[in-house]
Each structure stands twice: as structure tokens, then as C-alpha cells.
Amino acid sequence: MPFHKLLIVVLLVAVPLMGCRAPIRPRVPLDAAAQAARLGRGVNLGNALEAPREGEWGMVIQPEFFPLIAEAGFDTVRVPIRWSAHALADPPYTVDAAFFERVDWVIEQSLDQNLNVVINMHHYDELFDAPDAHADRFVAIWEQIATRYVNQPDALYFELLNEPHGNLDPAKWNALLLGTTEAIRAIDDYHTLVIGSAEWGGITGLAHLVLPENETNLVATFHYYDPFLFTHQGAEWTGPETGTLGVTWPGPPAEAVEPVEAASRVEWVRLWFLRYNQNPSSQNPANAEDIDRAFDRALAWSEAQGVPLWLGEFGAYSTAEMDSRARWTATVREAAEVRGFSWAYWEFGAGFGVYDRDAGVWREPLLTALIPLQEN
């Protein structure tokens, strides 16, 4: 028996099915457009399971989060997960049983609140650095995930990989996603797959995304954080480019914002601030028209491909002014909805958070920007 098929058999025996819900067979094939539409309005449970260990980034998923999210009017939770930190480095790349049980619990809590749940592969940094060396491990982990959750309801979605980038260029990613899709479908021919593009999963990367020809049950996804110097101002994990605070949205600002010295030495940043400070709204790099143009390009790609599209991440960091964050968030949300895109805000309760975990309250400007007052 070929090793690849032997591995699938081993995993089917070794990896228990998630037992919180009874198997559902036979099942009617899913319609991708309907699956994309039902995602509706979502929120990411970020900074928890995609940390090296849950809690290291100050966020542990609590049971009370799920009814809060559902009662606020959200339809979906996206769960970023760093599977690579919890799987053996060598074949058969077994995922830690206790970690699988933790993911089981998150899925069950979501489904119990009638929330759709999207689980993904997040922060597989070794794959981005050395895609050839880690391709087999990536596929094997997905085979285990598919085996464990094959009998779960159609409200569970599999997102193959968050923001492919680095040495996992478009050509390598297109080949890997094809092989991974085939491996998953050998085990689970039911659940909807979510696939994003290389080049960090942005709109421009969609042009280079090649989807499996015979796969109809999939939703493509993109992320949106433009203008980056606004949405990521003051973010500790980015470079000197984003070190300037006080960037409001939309531009131009009431008073000129001068970039910090380290940022001003980066030519594209210096030019961005010149245009931001001086240009009128219609020609400013921080305006609603740019969002509309970007989303029109995304919609054109979706229509040309005949594939539904989901905005899986968007948000502005907490160091930005709250009124500007709310304006930008509402504008992006409206741009997505008017084009028929479901969406998921980044994120629930950390640095971009719509919920203040310390105070135990929603940040009302952000919540209202996402779910207008008459609806929440």
C-alpha cells in the first residue's frame, strides 16, 4: 500500500472522531454560495489558540464568550489555531490529544450557541520559511483534522491556511493547496473549505490564486487592513513604518501628522504621509473611495471565478483613535455587505478587540460599527 494511503488508514484508526455530536449520514452536498452567505457577521477569537501556547498572549477562550457573541448578533466565530505547535515534528506528525480536545471544546461551545465556526491553520511559520520541508507535515495535520471532524455539522468550516507568505510563494501555495484539498477530500467530502491567497491573503494576491478545478464546495477569503499606517499604528510586532501615532481616518487630518524619525526614513512611508497631510479627501490615501475600489476588484475576481468570497479579517489596532476606528470599521463592513461578502472582524477581546474583557463590556462604538444599534 502506498505510504500516503497507509498514513490515512493509520490516522483513521489513531485519531478519534469528535464525539460531542452523532454522525450524520447520508448528507446532501453543500452549496458553496449558501455556505458563504450563512457566515454572515463574524468575529475572530484571536490571540488565544494561535499563540505558541494558549494564554501566552494574554487571551484564554472562556465559556461565557460564546453566548456573549451570539447575543450581540454575530453569526460566526473564526478560530485561529497554531496546530504546528502541538504536532510531532516527525512522521506521523501526530497532533497532541489534549490540544485536540481543547479545539473540540471550542467547536462544541460555538455550535451550542448556533454559531458557525471556522477553524484554520494559523502561524505555521516553519512552513512559510521552508515550504518543501514542511509540506508533508502540513498535509498530515489536515488529514488528522478532517478525520476527527468528518461527522460534524455543516456549520463547521475548514480554512486551509492563514495568510500564506514568505517562501510559500503563489506557485508553491497553489500546488500545496491542491494536494491538501485532495487529501482532505479522500477523508471528508462534505465540509466547506475556505482558501485564501499567498502574499499575505490580501486582495492583490487573489489574482495569483489557482483553485482546484473540480472542487465546488469552497469559499475564497481575503483580509483587509488598508491603509496599514492607520490600522496598525503603534503595533508592537510591526516595523518602524507603523510607529507614528495620531493617524486619524479619513484623511486629511485637522493638523498635519509628522511621521516619527525611523518611519520617515522609509521612502514609501514618507510619501504616504505627504499625501495624507496635504491631499483633499478624494485624493487622500486614507479615504472611503479606496476601500470601494479595492472591494470592487475583489468582487470582480469572485464573479469571474464563480467562487463566493469571504472577508475573513479586518480591524484597526487599539492605539488608533476610537472614533476613527469606528468610522473605518463601519465603512469596511458596509463595503463588504453591499457586495454580498460575509465578514469576520479581527478580533474579539485583545488588541483590536470589540469586547473589553477587563471591564466585561462591549466597546460600543466598535460593536455599533459592526452591528448597528437597531440590530444589537
> What confidence tens digit (pLDDT) does each residue in 330-368 have?
999 999 999 999 999 999 999 999 999 999 999 999 999
280 in a structural domain: no
Residue entry with cell 492605539 = 319
For range 104-109, the mean pLDDT: 98
For range 113-130, the mean pLDDT: 98
For range 308-329, the mean pLDDT: 98
Characterise 159 by phi-psi region: left (phi > 0), alpha (psi -120 to 50), beta (else).
beta
Q: Which of 4-18, 92-106, 268-282, 303-317 has the lowest mean pLDDT?
A: 4-18
120 in a structural domain: yes
| pLDDT confidence of residue 2 | 42
For range 149-154, the mean pLDDT: 98
Percent of the chain with pLDDT over 90: 92
Q: Residue 39: is its pLDDT beyond 80?
A: yes
| pLDDT confidence of residue 312 | 98
Task: Please answer whether residues 93 and 7 qualify as being in contact, where contact means their C-beta atoms are separated by less than 8 angstroms.
Answer: no
| pLDDT confidence of residue 13 | 42
* Helix spans in the chain (H): 3-14, 32-39, 65-72, 97-112, 125-129, 131-149, 170-185, 228-231, 261-264, 267-278, 288-305, 322-338, 364-370
53 in a structural domain: yes
Task: Please answer whether residues 154 and 270 qualify as being in contact, where contact means their C-beta atoms are separated by less than 8 angstroms.
Answer: no
Task: Please answer whether residues 376 and 73 qualify as being in contact, where contact means their C-beta atoms are separated by less than 8 angstroms.
Answer: yes
Confidence of residue 5 (pLDDT cuts 50, 70, 90): very low
328 in a structural domain: yes
| pLDDT confidence of residue 150 | 98
Burial class for 21, CB neighbours closer than 10 Å (0-12, 13-18, 19+):
middle
Distance in angstroms (rounded) separating the CA atoms of residues 358 and 355: 9
Distance in angstroms (rounded) separating the CA atoms of residues 60 and 354: 16
Domain harbouring 154, CATH code: 3.20.20.80
Q: Residue 376: is its pLDDT beyond 60?
A: no
Q: Give the residue from 317, 348, 266 showing the smallest Cα distance to 44.
A: 348
| Strand-pair partners of 327 | none
Q: Residue 20: is its pLDDT beyond 90?
A: no
272 in a structural domain: no
278 in a structural domain: no
Sign of CA dihedral 221, 224, 343, 281: negative
Task: Note down the domain range covering 197.
Answer: 3-18+27-242+288-375
For range 75-101, the mean pLDDT: 98
267 in a structural domain: no
User: For residues 56 and 24, which has the higher predicted lDDT (pLDDT)?
Assistant: 56
For range 130-142, the mean pLDDT: 98
Q: Average pLDDT over the chain, rounded to whole?
A: 94
> Per residue in 210-245, pLDDT tens?
999 999 999 999 999 999 999 999 999 999 999 999
**Tally of structural domains, the chain:** 1
- pTM for this structure? 0.94
For range 297-326, the mean pLDDT: 98
